[in-house]
Structures are given as C-alpha cells and as structure tokens.
Amino acid sequence: MRIFSFLSIAALIALPAAVNAEQAIKLKPGPGLDKVEANCQACHSLAYIPMNSPYLKAAGWDIEVNKMIKAMGAPIDDADAKSIKDYLAKNY
C-alpha cells in the first residue's frame, strides 16, 4: 500500500511536467537561421521569436538583440549579431 501511494504521488508530480514539455519550435528558413539557433536558444526558448513578432519590427529586433548582448551578457560577436538582426527583421 505504501508503494502504491508513493507511485501515485510521483505520477501526479511528473504528469504536468510531461504534458508541458516544450514543443520543438520550427522557425522560418532563411539566411541567419543557423546563427539564431546557435546563439539565441543557448539562453532561452526560440518560442519567444514568433511570440514577440507581432510587436517588433526591424528596429525592435535590433534593440532586442543589442539588449541580449549588452544588458544580458549574451556572448554574440558582431558578425553573428548582424546576421541575427537581419534574419529576424526579414522573417519576423
């Protein structure tokens, strides 16, 4: 009985985690996608890109990428940052 109770509690704890497991995010193909995948998802989900796309235009993406580098400390070099900004501005 004790084992059954333990397994029931463990299942109740694990079930929400399994249900909420992050789905794979497929971004639009294009030049710079590889830089986005390599740099951005190192710190956060790529789901933020399509989620924020209704609110950001080219200048907004530029600000966001600069913020990630300067304020958040993302180790993105200038060439990659330009590729990321260009990709986001064109596709989102």
pLDDT for 39-70, tens place per residue?
999 999 999 999 999 999 999 999 999 999 99
Q: Is residue 5 part of a domain?
A: no
Q: Per the domain annotation, does 82 fall within a domain?
A: yes
Q: Is residue 21, in this structure, part of any structural domain at all?
A: no
Instruction: Determine the Cα–Cα distance for residues 16 and 72; give it in Å rounded to an integer.
Output: 30
87 neighbors 35 (Cβ within 8 angstroms)? yes
- Residues sharing a CB contact under 8 Å with residue 72, sequence separation 6 or more, in sequence order: 43
Q: Which domain holds residue 46?
A: 26-91
Residue 31 maps to which CATH number?
1.10.760.10
pTM for the model: 0.74
Neighbours of 68 (CB within 10 A): 18
Binning pLDDT at 50, 70 and 90, where does residue 23 land? confident
Q: Note the residue count of the chain.
A: 92
